[in-house]
Structure 1
Amino acid sequence: MKNLPIYLIVLFLISCGGDPEGSNSNQNLEISYEIDTVMVDAGDHFFFVQFGLGMSDVDKSQKLFYNFNNQDLKMEIIDLENLKLKEVKQFEKEGPNGIGGGFIMRVQLLPDESLLFYDFVGIHHVAKSGEKIATYKLEEIDWKGDQLADDEEINVSSLDTEDGKTFYGFYGTQGFDSKILGIAEINLSDQSLRLFPSDFLQFTNAFDISFSMGDRGAAKFPEQNRIRVVDNKVLITTTAKNELWEWDLTQDSLINHAYQSQLTSNSKKGNYPMQVSSQEEFRAAIQEKNKEVSFGTLIHAPNQDKFWRYHKEMDRMTAGDTIIYKNVLTAFDEELNQLGETAFPEKFKNGDPVFYLDGMLWQFLNVDDEVAFVRVKPSISE
């Protein structure tokens, strides 16, 4: 057993959430929490931690964590109740149950325990048994309803679903200078498409870092704009600003929720180079950008009737040029009103993915290439 970091302490902090005029912050409640760290027993297995467990999902009913190794096409299933590896499932690349040779960039577990594998061109739907149900190549579907222009496409990596049939995601232009043009609703059962054109996220392009060599684009470091479907709510967040949006499906309109933090900035400032022409400049610009505020996704806590969210901003630099962040936890009610916020201790680090289970926010921690989870148990009171 490795020595655990200094998260094995219990902390009680007071919320600093305010009630600024014109925002969705309508209360100033006290947030308290406990923090611990737990290790997962891997036995003789070596976990795939190369992408920080970024291709994972959780079966909350059975308390199982699914971590996908997209290089060997293996699924590592962790028993979160007993904190040990339960099994490793091997998936096929080719053949009738193959999930393709493309780069799998995201996995999603459905309520029936079947899995969705998202790659650059579409979605592979695989049953719990490992038998493939279907592969959907989105560009080859003759959609009913709304139509995409020739230079437009659905951003597969942005898609989210609750039932594996109706998906929500962004659509927009292709290529290096791609733009989000709105939200798409696709139904794979009847192959219908509905588009909601909107430029509400165009402002995030101003914070992108572009690396160009001559007149050719080489790489881009964009903001992370995400869609998540929660209890039939289509929620959109961005790392760039202390806001979120809800797509009202009945009215076909966007509802904006703007918030005010008393602990950090409420938007990126863009105090870094936006255009660079070398890898060294690119890395340096990214380091400068990483000092600015960054907002995480909403984490639903249904048994608390709340949402939680992490965000962070540079507090200071050490003498060794290490960024020390101020990490903040914010609480929202089911109507997405901000209830309060509080700062974590300096040694706390947050990062994706985060999930909610058993009253706690779980977050992966790499301990010498072994899997550990930092668990935050938050509560809120008057």
Structure 2
Amino acid sequence: MRKLLTISALVLLTACGEKPKSEEVLIIEEPKNILEDLTYVIDTVVVDSGEEFINLSRGLYFSDVSIDKNSLFIFDRGRLSFQEVDLDQMKLLGTYPFEMEGPNGIGKGGIFQLLPDRKLMIPSVSKTAIYNLQGELISNLKLITDELDHMSDIDEFTLLNEIHFDPKSGVFYSLPGNYTSGIRELAIINATTNKGKAIKLPAMEKAGNFRVFFNTENEKAIEVEEYSLSLLHDKIYITCTVTGGVYRYNPATDDLEYIEFNHQLIPNEKTGDIINEVYSEKEFNAEYRKVASQVSYLKLMWDDETSRFYRLAYKGVLGDKQIEPISYKVFLLAYTEDMGLVGEATIPDFNKVPESYFFKDGKLWSYVNVEDELGFAVFTFNF
């Protein structure tokens, strides 16, 4: 999807890296398509916020779901507070105020991670720390690039891309990179020793071939492929919209695998030639349409109910003249715990990409705004 940046907001940076101990390429596929006869029902549920107000001006952009999928936490940047929603009872449980400045200050950030013990990891350029729900700082975490091995020229700001903290090992994982190149790397940083490294992701560097950079003296806009990082089952999974392949990193062995799939329903990756830097809005729109009409693969999601990985993919349906897609074809893909492809299907009669979605109890939950109230479209799949 399109990303527009002003001149002042466009950050130019690079990231260096070193190879992990080993990198393997696996091609995993299974013959049975469990989603061949996919049907579904959508129910819309709305959260009871009582007398409280849930700020949906940014949707659920600043939110996180608990590991057990029982709670959703939303950060309200305007009021500097976190709100907890019970996803079983569908009601607002509480609001937790925080401070911007002072010893317990969280700064001006917005992203956060909900840890298993109901504490919050809140990263920012100036300070990264763990807090309890009473707004008290529990521990400071180091995230200083100029002290990291082989990472001196990585800007701290890009270390926040898809940042995750593993409380069991005390290690950060994130995807820093160069915005205009469209290429990311895997950063691994020990929060105690402040030692770390960056690992290149060569199979996803093709993402740089599909960026579109509109570059003039007075205006800049950029279209880049999106990456995601998930910490699941003590392993790191990395996806990129440019390809159906998945990187899996095992911290215990320092092994990096690139897993490829032979998807039958949709192309396995984007193809074609894109002009990466253009100097007029007309050229930008023309190249953008070439990208928007192709398949994009989204993040991996794990579902405890079915013990499978799922992910969504989509293709834009373009009008004759309209720049943005007028609708989308959306696909559901299923994989085993060992990353074997076992299912792929079009989600029939559905023409938009779900927002801020996750799997819970075998169902896909997607954020919807219901007359300015927090709601979810809940997909019950039958196959």
Q: CA deviation at 1:255?
A: 1.3
Contact 1:210 1:217 in 2 (8 A): no
2:90 aligned partner, one-letter code: L
Structure 2 match to 1:313: 315
- The SS at the match of 1:297 is strand
Structure 2 match to 1:372: 375
Structure 1 match to 2:204: 201
Contact 1:120 1:157 in 2 (8 A): no
Per the alignment, do residues 248 and 78 of structure 1 end up closer, same or farther by CA in structure 2, a change over 3 Å counting?
A: closer
Equivalent in 269, 272, 279 of residue 271 of structure 2: 269
What are the superposed Cα offsets for residues 147-187 of structure 1, whole Å, 9 maximum, x if unpaired?
A: 32435666222222332721222345x5755743x422212
Contact 1:318 1:324 in 2 (8 A): no
How many Å separate the matches in 1 of 2:272 and 2:59? Answer: 27
How many Å separate the matches in 2 of 1:269 and 1:122? Answer: 41
How many residues in Structure 1 have an aligned counterpart in Structure 2? 352
Structure 2 match to 1:343: 346
Query: Which shifted more, 160-169 or 291-300?
Result: 160-169
Any unmatched runs of 5+ in structure 2?
A: 1-25
Query: Does residue 1:185 correspond to 2:192, yes or no?
Result: no
Structure 2 match to 1:131: 136
Per the alignment, do residues 230 and 338 of structure 1 end up closer, same or farther by CA in structure 2, a change over 3 Å counting?
A: same
Structure 1 match to 2:83: 76
Contact 1:329 1:342 in 2 (8 A): yes
TM-score normalised over the length of structure 1: 0.81
Aligned-pair RMSD on alpha carbons?
Answer: 3.0
Per the alignment, do residues 213 and 137 of structure 1 end up closer, same or farther by CA in structure 2, a change over 3 Å counting?
A: farther
Structure 1 match to 2:61: 54
Query: Does residue 1:363 correspond to 2:370, yes or no?
Result: no
What are the superposed Cα offsets for residues 216-245 of structure 1, whole Å, 9 maximum, x if unpaired?
A: 983432111122110111111001111111
What are the superposed Cα offsets for residues 23-67 of structure 1, whole Å, 9 maximum, x if unpaired?
A: 422132333444322122233444322333021111244711111
1:66 aligned partner, one-letter code: F
Query: Which shifted more, 289-298 or 24-33?
Result: 24-33
Equivalent in 29, 43, 52 of residue 25 of structure 1: 29
Per the alignment, do residues 66 and 282 of structure 1 end up closer, same or farther by CA in structure 2, a change over 3 Å counting?
A: farther
Query: Does residue 1:100 correspond to 2:107, yes or no?
Result: yes
- The SS at the match of 1:86 is strand
Query: Which shifted more, 132-141 or 226-235?
Result: 132-141
How many Å separate the matches in 1 of 2:145 and 2:316? Answer: 45
What are the superposed Cα offsets for residues 90-119 of structure 1, whole Å, 9 maximum, x if unpaired?
A: 221111111113x42x22100010112233
Per the alignment, do residues 152 and 197 of structure 1 end up closer, same or farther by CA in structure 2, a change over 3 Å counting?
A: farther
How many Å separate the matches in 1 of 2:256 and 2:293? Answer: 30
The alignment-based identity, stated in percent, is: 27
Contact 1:186 1:194 in 2 (8 A): yes
Structure 1 match to 2:326: 323
Equivalent in 222, 228, 231 of residue 229 of structure 1: 231
How many Å separate the matches in 2 of 1:211 and 1:138? Answer: 32
How many Å separate the matches in 1 of 2:30 and 2:286? Answer: 39
Q: CA deviation at 1:70?
A: 2.3
Where does structure 1 differ by over 6 angstroms across 4 or more consecutive aligned residues? 318-321
What are the superposed Cα offsets for residues 259-281 of structure 1, whole Å, 9 maximum, x if unpaired?
A: 23333232223566532335676
TM-score normalised over the length of structure 2: 0.81
How many Å separate the matches in 2 of 1:272 and 1:45? Answer: 48
How many Å separate the matches in 1 of 2:219 and 2:88? Answer: 47
Structure 1 match to 2:297: 295
Structure 2 match to 1:7: none
Per the alignment, do residues 23 and 201 of structure 1 end up closer, same or farther by CA in structure 2, a change over 3 Å counting?
A: closer
How many Å separate the matches in 2 of 1:312 and 1:77? Answer: 31
Contact 2:227 2:238 in 1 (8 A): yes
Query: Does residue 1:162 correspond to 2:169, yes or no?
Result: no
Structure 1 match to 2:22: none
How many Å separate the matches in 2 of 1:201 and 1:332? Answer: 20
How many Å separate the matches in 2 of 1:107 and 1:122? Answer: 12
How many Å separate the matches in 1 of 2:130 and 2:75? Answer: 15
Structure 2 match to 1:114: 119
Any unmatched runs of 5+ in structure 1?
A: 1-21
How many Å separate the matches in 2 of 1:279 and 1:43? Answer: 47
Contact 2:234 2:250 in 1 (8 A): no
How many Å separate the matches in 2 of 1:51 and 1:316? Answer: 26
